[in-house]
Amino acid sequence: MHFDLSPTIILDEKNSLLYGRMRVFLYIFSFLLALYLAFRILFPSLFFEFSFNNPRAKSNTITNPRDENLAPLEKGLLNEGKSLFFNTSLVGTYSTAIVSMTLDKKYPNSSFESLSVRKSYNAFLYPEGEAMGFRDGTLLKNKSDFYIVSDGKLRKFAGAKIIDALGFPVNSFLNVAGDELTYNSKGDAIGKNSGYPDDSLFLIQNNFYQLQDNKLKKFISDFAFSTHYESGQAIKKNADFLKEYEIDSDPIGFSEGSLLSYADSIYVVEGGKIFPIDNPLTFSGKGFDWNDVIQASADEIAFYEKEKLFTIASDHPSGTIFNTTEDHLNYLIIDGQKRLLPTENIFSSWVNTTPVPASKDSLDIKSNCQMKKSFLRSNIFKCSLPIVEMQQLIGSDYVFSLKPTKETRLDFINVEFKKDIGFKNFRFTAGEILNRIKNNYAR
């Protein structure tokens, strides 16, 4: 069937020829526009910027410009020989990062050593501290010796009769090797007159408590307790036991790094606060596991102060455990450090969520380029970093570092991530689009 919306209009030969040409032009333009949009979708570019003249501007998408001592960079001033670090955070695979820096014109003779970049999770790049020992409250057994970890120290029970007298569940003591006990410093032995040590756990009238500073601290819920310990570790007591200790007014919530859901939001716990995760792309981009999300009640959520959004640029919270894909080592993030969990038993005492996969190779693999002056403007330096080899590395953060050879001051930093045209990148992008659809509509 043919539809003719203007059957009575007849064009003369000249206008008919013009109409035909315009129609062909429209078809070609539409085809080229569709092709351009397809290339922009399949081979996108992402742009990041930071203004040192307006460091609090919402348009600043480069995060945490800092010196080598982790101090925020003051007004863009770079001292000679002192390194600058800054981050960009994104999900996706890109081929090239083009970095441009605009300098204060009062520093015309500025120059730099090479610019370098690493790809990982920023928290996984934290400095490595001492290896961790067992978690406070953990009950341990080595041969015929029994211990509890209290205030970070390993305290030995003077005998089995003391364990029975205090009511510790013998079946909850974890069998460990002797060398595993060396990761906790030794504390005083627990004798018959010692009483309950700090971090002892109790189950009283269906509520869980922990002894801290000679006060009983109540867990806000069974779910909160389960993110710290197994229920079998708690000593069962009747209500009269509550009269023997002062009840602390500050209860215990979920373990650091726990993932909570309420209504349509998902939160991550850190420092007594909850941070709402902004979207499913951030959730998956940070390596979190949907199976770890705990359905929280209104009372459990109300216990916390709500903070700003947790975005793709946010660092993983304390309590996060990273597992390296190359050698399967586990690291705990705590107090701005990455600390090895040296044995499976020590790991099991800390884990409350699925470890986030991380690439150990990301600690060593770097891309470098030399900053060069722009031909058109002498206060602009640029360089192009190849990052194709970083595509296989796990992580959402690109961490840049740069060292000036002379004192200088920065006004702006701009970074463009580009994806080269090719079948491999096409395949990557198509896979990313499908994953985003799954994350948004089919958890």
Contact 177, 346 (CB under 8 A): no
pLDDT at residue 430 in the model: 57
Per the structure block, which two tokens stand in for 103?
A: 């300098």
Query: Is 1 domain-assigned?
Result: yes
Pair 234, 152 in one domain? yes
> Which residues have C-beta within 8 Å of that of residue 226, sequence separation ≥ 6?
none
- Does any domain span residue 201? yes
**Tokens linked to 186:** 């030794």
Tokens in use for 238? 């009747």
Residue after which a domain boundary falls, among 247, 278, 299: 247
Alpha-carbon span 223 to 296, nearest angstrom: 8
- Residues 340 and 382 grouped into a single domain: no
Does residue 235 sit in the same domain as residue 270? no
Q: Cα(321)–Cα(334) distance, rounded to whole angstroms?
A: 9
Q: What confidence score (pLDDT) does residue 109 get?
A: 79
C-alpha angle 92-98-99 in degrees, rounded to nearest 5: 115
Looking at residue 21, what is its pLDDT? 80
**120 within domain boundaries:** no
pLDDT band at 107 (very low <50, low <70, confident <90, very high): confident
121 within domain boundaries: no
Task: Write out the H or E segment, with its range, that includes residue 293.
Answer: strand 293-295
- Whose tokens are 């060593």? That residue is 364
pLDDT of residue 238: 94
- Measured CA to CA, the distance from residue 26 to residue 403 in angstroms comes to 52
Query: Residue 162 pLDDT more than 90?
Result: yes
Is 122 a member of any domain?
no
Q: Which of 185, 216, 247 is the last residue of a domain?
A: 247
Give the pLDDT score at 432. Answer: 61
Could you tell me if residue 130 is inside a domain?
A: no
**Strand ranges for 144-230 from DSSP E:** 145-150, 153-156, 174-175, 185-186, 201-204, 207-212, 215-218
Residues with Cβ within 8 Å of residue 376, at least 6 apart in sequence: none
**Closest of 102, 49, 45, 85 to residue 366, by C-alpha:** 85
Give the chain's domain count. Answer: 4
Residue 62 has pLDDT above 60, yes or no: yes
Of 220, 247, 274, the residue at which a domain comes to its end is 247
Q: Is the pLDDT of residue 186 over 70?
A: yes
346 shares its domain with 430: no
In three-state secondary structure terms, 310 is strand
Please check whether residues 276 and 354 belong to one and the same domain.
yes
Domain identity same for 148 and 182: yes
Each residue of 226-267: pLDDT tens digit? 999 999 999 999 999 999 999 999 999 999 999 999 998 999
Q: Do 84 and 97 sit in the same domain of this protein?
A: yes
Is residue 415 domain-resident? Answer: yes
User: What is the enclosing helix (H) or strand (E) of 270?
Assistant: strand 265-270
Residue 128 within a domain: no
The mean pLDDT of the chain is: 89
Residues 356, 391, single domain; the answer is no
pLDDT digits (tens, 9 = 90+) for 371-414: 998 877 778 999 999 998 898 899 999 999 998 888 889 999 99
What values do phi and psi take at 209, rounded to 5? Answer: -135, 160
- Residue 440's Cβ-count burial label (10 Å; 0-12, 13-18, 19+) is exposed
Q: Do both 270 and 300 map to the same domain?
A: yes
Range(s) of the domain holding residue 6: 1-42
* Cα–Cα distance, 300 to 247 (Å, whole number): 19
Burial 57-96 (b: 16+ CB within 10 A, else e): eeebbbbbbebeeeeebeebebeeeebbbbbbbbbbbbbb
pLDDT, position 435: 62
- 157 and 175 co-located in one domain: yes
What pLDDT sits at residue 244? 93
Question: Per-residue pLDDT averaged across 286-295, rounded?
Answer: 95
* pLDDT(5) > 70: no
pLDDT, position 317: 95
397 and 422 both lie in a single domain: yes
Residues 148, 232, single domain; the answer is yes
